Amino acid sequence: MSFELSKKILPVKGIRLGTAASGERYENRDDLLVVEVSEGASSAAVFTRNVFCAAPVIIARRHMETMAPRYLIVNAGNANAGTGIAGEKDCRKICDYLAKEVGWPVEAILPFSTGVIGQLIDTDRIGGAINDCLSALSENNWAAAGRAIMTTDTCLKARSATIEVNGALATVTGIAKGSGMIKPDMATMLAFVATDAAVSPEMVQLICEEAANVSFNRITVDGDTSTNDAFVLMATGARQNKNILKDGDEFRKLAATICMVCTELAKDIVRDGEGATKFVTITVYGEAEEERSRVAYAVAESPLVKTALFASDANWGRILAAVGRSIDRTTRLEDIDINVSGVPLVKNGQPVLSKSSDAIDQLFAQSEIEFSIHLDDGASSTSVWTCDYSYEYIRINAEYRT
Catalytic residues: 188
Which ranges of 45-120 does DSSP label H, i.e. alpha helix?
55-66, 84-102
Using DSSP's 3-state secondary structure scheme, residue 17 falls into strand
Question: Measured in Å, how far apart are the chain's first and last C-alpha atoms?
Answer: 49
Please check whether residue 108 is in contact with residue 137, taking contact to mean a CB–CB distance below 8 angstroms.
no
- Taking CA atoms, 333 is separated from 288, 300, 304, 376, 379, in Å, by 16, 20, 21, 10, 18
Which run of H or E residues covers position 118?
A: none
User: How many CB atoms lie under 10 A from the CB of residue 10?
Assistant: 18
Using DSSP's 3-state secondary structure scheme, residue 113 falls into strand
- Amino acid type, 252: R
Using DSSP's 3-state secondary structure scheme, residue 34 falls into strand
Using DSSP's 3-state secondary structure scheme, residue 165 falls into strand
Q: Radius of gyration of the chain from Cα atoms?
A: 22
Please check whether residue 274 is in contact with residue 180, taking contact to mean a CB–CB distance below 8 angstroms.
yes
User: How many CB atoms lie under 10 A from the CB of residue 199?
Assistant: 30
* CA pseudo-torsion sign 119, 67, 47, 198: negative
